[in-house]
Chain A
Amino acid sequence: MISPGLHQHASADDLIQARPAQRGLLPPAPPAPAPLRLIGDAVDWSIIGIGAVMIVLVFINVVMHSFGKDMAATTEMCELLMVWVTFLGGAAAARRGVHMAITELIDKLGTGPRRLMDLAISAASAAVLASLVWYGWGITVAGWTNRLTVLDIPMSLQYLALPVASFITLLFVLWDGLQILRGRSHQERFGCN
């Protein structure tokens, strides 16, 4: 988006330009087998759906608030959805290789050592994710009898986000590990990310 007219004697009218070009419904994702692509797209649309519901719920609460009323259920529901959208968002970020990481040092490595480091990072990530799936499932099972105060639904519906989203993330990480073993560089796997 480059403004052509911000020169010395441009009028404010000159500075307004055409609107940006239309883009796709979803941002691009790296190539993957069909089942993994389907899972990835399902995750993306779940995030969009949950995010939209949260935006509406919080705004309804603001409106209710201005009339001196409050919906306690909204707060609890938003917290439940926040946990789901965050863990699923982590899966979407892993699919596109955009998790926060300090890569300045490994970026300076040559192709061979970089590939080894990428493999080690992928293996360590997979180990942490496997542990999250295992313990997350344990927490979910153990908490099934506890109920959320206002919504009166099992607290485990909130905890369930951890093993489910971690399992999906694990699939993306394992697929990425396979790509590394096939000799694909970070650039080839994730494009401009």
Chain B
Amino acid sequence: MFALALFAVFFAVALAGLPLMYSLLATTVGFIVVGGLGHPLTSVYLSYIGGVEPFILIAVPLFIFAGELLSEGGVGRRIVNFAHALLGWLPGGLGVVTVASCLMFGGVSGSAIADTAAIGSMVIPAMVKQGYSRGFAAALLAVAGTLALLMPLSIPFLVYAFISGVSMRQLSMAGIVPALVMAVALIVVCIWYGRKSGCDNGRERSTLPQIWFATKDAGPALLMPIIIIGGIWSGLFTPTEAASIAVVYGLCISIFLYKDIGWHDLPRLILKAFSTSATVMLVIGATGALAWLITVEQVAAQLAEWVRVVATEPWMFLAMVNVALLLLGIFIEPLPAMLLTVPLLLPMANALNIDLIHLGVVVTANLALALYTPPVGGTLFVAAKLADASIGEITRALVPLFAASLVVLGIITFVPSMTSVVYKLLF
């Protein structure tokens, strides 16, 4: 009853438009004061400060900064050229190039919005010129951009690893196969669309010199995920150190090699990255304050007990998680949704002996859908703006892509070996 009242009040306040960090703090303090719970408010605010200081979280602004550098530093364009030279000959070739580019750029940026914006600004005009509908071009970018969330530098993975205490190394590796399967599913839809609409039957195959030029040009950018993934996998560096290397590498190739940005761009990019990160970190800190109240009031134990009654099998729990997160994702963006739900899901998952790394991939894959589920969503809005398409047009074109994503989500959820195959093999 306490838990229900707590979440009802929080959601009412948050849906009224109060910024999430204030909603979380106001709810926590309000329950203590009005409910006469007698807890010292100093403890709430100390939990708030404590929530933003852990060293691992320094990786969040660094990854965001690296993503900004690569987005503006011309890396996306070179990746698109590379994918075009290799895959442009397939039916639905431009769509296939889009998916492959988003997958590769996602491997270096870790941000779905950056992925959609960087790749979309280049391929959407070309797709429209080729005869793709604006709705399909935007829908494809909105979906393919979210592949970044399942790749090793994923920012939601980092946040989940912090909240749940699982190894970021293992979680990074766990997302690779689901990302590849999701990409293949989207490529199949693109080939089907290209054939059905007749707008894109594939171009001539690239000549070897063309492929060599594109590979040489994109080489430094393509090397980055190899260095980062290899470093994390081998244990050579921690995720925070990997983020720092991503920044330095990104600076080198964007400023010295590609020269698409200069030193004068750095203040703006640093400010953007650190203030964007602050909006996330402050919600993490405020969630820490609410989590403190949940712990002292033993709400987690009550929820775990409730799950033992309602969901007796892991698959039932995971199915419930899917439905709940898909519904939540209609209204809330992935990171806040993750911050609000994961602390509650963890005790329940532990009660059912569910692998927390598998749960992390399931939660992230679910919340990736939230980014393009109409009527609101980050990648949906970016893609709509780039393609100059209405949400209605995109929604209609989204149907086959959404269906393919749901099928893959089902596989990720109910076939745990899909997530565990890589990290169990490597560690």
Interface residues of A (CB under 8 A from B): 1-13, 15-17, 19-20, 22-27, 44-45, 47-48, 50-52, 54-55, 58-59, 61-62, 65-66, 75, 78-80, 82-83, 85-90, 92-93, 96, 98-106, 117-118, 120-121, 124-125, 127-129, 131-132, 135-136, 138-139, 142, 158-159, 161-162
A8 near B203 (CB under 8 angstroms)? yes
Q: Which 6 A-B pairs have the closest CB atoms?
A: A89-B278, A6-B126, A99-B19, A12-B214, A58-B244, A3-B122
Taken together as a complex, chains A and B put the C-alpha atoms of A78 and B29 apart, in Å, by 29
Q: Are the CB atoms of A44 and B125 closer together than 8 Å?
A: no
Assuming the contacts A55-B65, A79-B54, A85-B278, asked whether A47 and B270 have C-beta atoms less than 8 A apart, the reply is yes
Chain A residue contacts of B393, Cβ below 8 A: none
**Cα–Cα distance between A3 and B122 once the two chains are bound (Å):** 5
Report the Cα distance A191→B58, complex, angstroms: 30
Given the complex of chains A and B, what is the CA–CA distance between A76 and B259 in angstroms? Answer: 35
Residues of B within 8 A of A27 (CB): 268, 271-272
Contact check: which of B129, B241, B278, B332 meets A65 at CB < 8 Å? B241
Contact A58 B241 (CB under 8 A): yes
The interface residues of chain A lying within 8 Å CB-to-CB of B273 are 51
User: Are B268 and A23 in contact, CB atoms less than 8 angstroms apart?
Assistant: yes
Q: Is the CB of A26 within 8 A of B267?
A: yes
Residue of A nearest to B284 (CB): A86
Flag if A25 contacts B55 (CB, 8 Å): no
Query: Closest B-chain residue to A80, C-beta based?
Result: B53
B278 touching A87 by the CB < 8 A rule?
A: yes
Distance of A96 Cα from B276 Cα, bound (Å): 11
Contact B25 A15 (CB under 8 A): no
Q: Are A3 and B275 in contact (CB under 8 A)?
A: no
Give the distance in Å from the alpha carbon of A74 to the alpha carbon of B124 in the complex: 44
CB distance from B115 to the nearest CB of A (A): 14
> Are B241 and A101 closer than 8 Å at their CB atoms?
no
The answer to whether the Cβ of B49 comes within 8 Å of any Cβ in the partner chain is: yes
Nearest CB on A from B385, distance (A) = 11
* Interface residues of chain B: helix, strand, loop or mixed (majority): helix
B240 adjacent to chain A (CB < 8 Å)? yes
Find out whether the CB atom of B45 lies under 8 angstroms from the CB atom of A65: no
Chain B residues packing against A (C-beta within 8 Å)? 13-22, 25-26, 29, 41-42, 45-46, 48-49, 52-55, 57-58, 61-62, 65, 72, 74, 77-78, 80-82, 84-85, 94, 121-123, 125-126, 129-130, 203-204, 206, 210, 213-214, 217, 236-237, 240-241, 243-245, 247-248, 259-262, 264-268, 270-283, 285, 331-333, 335-336, 375-376
- Contact partners of A25 in chain B: CB under 8 A: 264, 267-268
Say whether A75 contacts B84, CB under 8 Å.
Answer: no
Partner of A16, one of B81, B129, B245: B81
- Report which of B45, B74, B244 forms a contact with A59, defined as CB distance below 8 A: B244
20 contacts between A and B (CB under 8 A): A1-B121, A15-B122, A16-B81, A22-B264, A59-B244, A62-B245, A65-B241, A79-B55, A89-B278, A89-B279, A99-B19, A102-B20, A104-B376, A120-B16, A124-B18, A127-B26, A129-B22, A138-B42, A139-B49, A162-B49
**Is there contact, CB below 8 Å, between B333 and A78?**
no
Tell whether A83 pairs with B210 under 8 Å between CB atoms, given A3-B80, A24-B268.
no
Q: How far is the CB of B132 from chain A (nearest CB, A)?
A: 12
**Is B55's CB under 8 angstroms from A78's CB?**
yes
Complex CA–CA separation, A52 to B266 (angstroms): 9
Interface centre among A51, A120, A132 (most CB of B within 10 A): A51
Q: How far is the CB of A76 from chain B (nearest CB, A)?
A: 9
Q: Does the CB pair B46–A139 fall under 8 Å?
A: yes
A3 to B42, CA, bound (A): 54
* Alpha-carbon gap, A49 to B264, bound state (A): 14
Closest CB in chain A relative to B70 CB, distance in Å: 13
Q: Which of A3, A12, A27 has the most CB of B within 10 A?
A: A12
